[in-house]
Structure 1
Amino acid sequence: MHTLFISDLHLTPKRPDITNCFISFMREDAIKADALYVLGDLFDFWIGDDDPTNFAEQIKSEFKTLVSKGVPVFFSHGNRDFLVGKRFAKQTGVTLLEEEQVVDLYGEKVVVLHGDTLCTEDVRYLAFREKVHKPWLQWVFNRLPFFIKTRIVRKIQSDTSSDKSNKSMSIMDVTPGEVLAVMEKHQVNSMIHGHTHRPNIHKISISGEEKTRIVLGDWYTQGSILVYSDHGYELQNKRFTS
């Protein structure tokens, strides 16, 4: 019995090595799991559920097949795929999660999230995030022709890349106080998130009580997977193959 967690794959047609690793993971690893959690940034950027490309259909097909074989899939929005919506969920069978979701993992209550909201020192990003998450703005964007949305996203990606290169690593990491605040809000001692691309298992002792924060890794050079079972948990890697 085990549950799998992944995040920050940044799938794109430009990186077939990542896509191939993902497909292998879905067919060889995820199929054996009790459930799969995708904690954001599955795509390098998801422009909208109306994406007509073969690439988008290929990824959706992998989820639909996995769910049809009895493995539930849960999806948490990241900063690059916050436009994944109800249409995507209906087509694939995945369940969309709340921004912060408490789940029961073999008797342990754990809060799961993408992790971008934990980086409270990244003020410029959080301001941008608040703007693009406005329902009315997403409503307008989703009704634009796909080719126009593609142009807008390319401009945003260019600006984001330039802004990121000028930020210190500390700004892009989580704020410890925010981590504890989220755990306290949900009355849990464990958290799983992605976003920072710094895979690790952190143990935090507060007033004699131990808390655990598990950070998922990205898929830039290898697959990064958290295997969580009733016996414990482990961060594992999956090699890219040619």
Structure 2
Amino acid sequence: MSADPRTTPPTLGRLTAPAAWHTVDLISDLHLQVSEQATFEAWHDYMARTTADAVLILGDLFEVWVGDDAAAQDPFLQRCAQVLRQTAQRAHVGFMPGNRDFLVGPDFLSACGVQPLTDPTLITLGQQRILLSHGDALCLDDKPYQAFRLQARNPQWQQAFLAKPLAERQEFARNLRALSESQKHEGMTFADADLEMSLFWLAQAGADQLIHGHTHRPADHALGSAVRHVLSDWSLDHAPLRAQVFRLTRHTDTADNPFAYNDWRSERLDWNRAQA
């Protein structure tokens, strides 16, 4: 009998913001693909112009990822890699796997200068402790997906899948995407993050804020004394049109003591070409 995920402590990654960091940006669910150029161009523009010290990507940067070997043969994925590489030369770029791109490998990330992020990761910003996740593991009511996730995150399954011919892997991904699209057209309601599990994760991490993506329902939810921030997806090729950055900015206590600070404050930025 499998353990109840609501009472199974997560294996936490940890990230401590250096004193030099003043701004941290979080984005997720861009679902980059060659057929949606407006979204890609907005992301490209953002990555080139953001002044953040760190850009943390919380999953589903790519619509699909069937192995690092596919990127070597795909001009569009090579363009994406170039954007990551250029940004990583001047800022810390972190990547957390999502449900669409969990097979992004260490070789690809290393070649791009991108740091891997465990799901979930506890980030410490001064006195604040914030828990970061893609969010799919929290959506317990989506039972068919959770069964697939348990299988697909198994290293043996991944090794066997990546050993298949590229064409076979790409066909598998196309079938999954077709199923997902059919569910959207049928008006299927997708699960949200489980409240009990979210609170359990926060308690285990000693955090009072949870930031995640996955659900495409950007909002801020009060969880008693804690808060759950849901990141938006990026979609500039079809409605709803949005490209939102969740920005954390360090604030100082006094103007004459820049080393004394008590918190990091959040804001949501609607990205456009006039914004930096």
Which residue number in structure 2 is paired with residue 61 of structure 1?
A: 82
Structure 2 residue 251 is the aligned partner of structure 1 residue 236: no
Structure 2 residue 234 is the aligned partner of structure 1 residue 213: no
Aligned-pair CA distance for 1:162? 3.1
Matched residues in 1 for 2:132 and 2:232: separation?
14
Which residue number in structure 2 is paired with residue 5 of structure 1?
A: 26
1:148/1:240 Cα in 2 relative to 1: closer, same or farther (>3 Å)?
farther
Matched residues in 1 for 2:223 and 2:41: separation?
36
The aligned runs of 1:174-185 (5 Å cut-off) are 174-185=193-204
Structure 2 residue 48 is the aligned partner of structure 1 residue 15: no
Can you give the 5+ residue segments of structure 2 that lack an aligned partner in the other structure?
1-21, 236-240, 252-264
What amino acid sits opposite 2:233 in the alignment?
D
CA contact (8 A) 2:199 2:223 kept: no
Aligned-pair CA distance for 1:192? 0.7
The aligned runs of 1:16-55 (5 Å cut-off) are 16-29=37-50, 32-51=51-70, 52-55=73-76
1:145/1:240 Cα in 2 relative to 1: closer, same or farther (>3 Å)?
farther
Matched residues in 2 for 1:166 and 1:130: separation?
26
Matched residues in 2 for 1:166 and 1:8: separation?
21
1:223/1:106 Cα in 2 relative to 1: closer, same or farther (>3 Å)?
farther
Structure 2 residue 206 is the aligned partner of structure 1 residue 187: yes
Which residue number in structure 2 is paired with residue 79 of structure 1?
A: 99
Which residue number in structure 2 is paired with residue 145 of structure 1?
A: 165
Is the deviation greater in 194-203 or in 143-152? 143-152
Is the deviation greater in 154-163 or in 183-192? 154-163
CA contact (8 A) 1:7 1:38 kept: yes
The aligned runs of 1:112-191 (5 Å cut-off) are 112-163=132-183, 168-169=188-189, 171-191=190-210
The TM-score normalised by the length of structure 1 is 0.91
Aligned-pair CA distance for 1:234? 0.6
The C-alpha deviation readout for 1:141-162, integer Å capped at 9, x for no partner, is 2122322211111112222333
1:73/1:105 Cα in 2 relative to 1: closer, same or farther (>3 Å)?
same
Number of aligned residue pairs: give it.
233
Counting aligned pairs with the same residue, the percent is: 30
Is the deviation greater in 5-14 or in 116-125? 116-125
Is the deviation greater in 55-64 or in 231-240? 231-240
Matched residues in 1 for 2:250 and 2:220: separation?
17
The TM-score normalised by the length of structure 2 is 0.80
CA contact (8 A) 1:111 1:190 kept: yes
Aligned-pair CA distance for 1:240? 7.5
Matched residues in 2 for 1:106 and 1:41: separation?
28
The C-alpha deviation readout for 1:30-70, integer Å capped at 9, x for no partner, is xx11101000010111121112201111111111111122x
Matched residues in 1 for 2:111 and 2:130: separation?
28
CA contact (8 A) 1:222 1:239 kept: no
What amino acid sits opposite 1:14 in the alignment?
S
CA contact (8 A) 2:65 2:102 kept: yes
CA contact (8 A) 1:39 1:113 kept: yes
Q: How much is the aligned-residue C-alpha RMSD, in angstroms?
A: 1.7
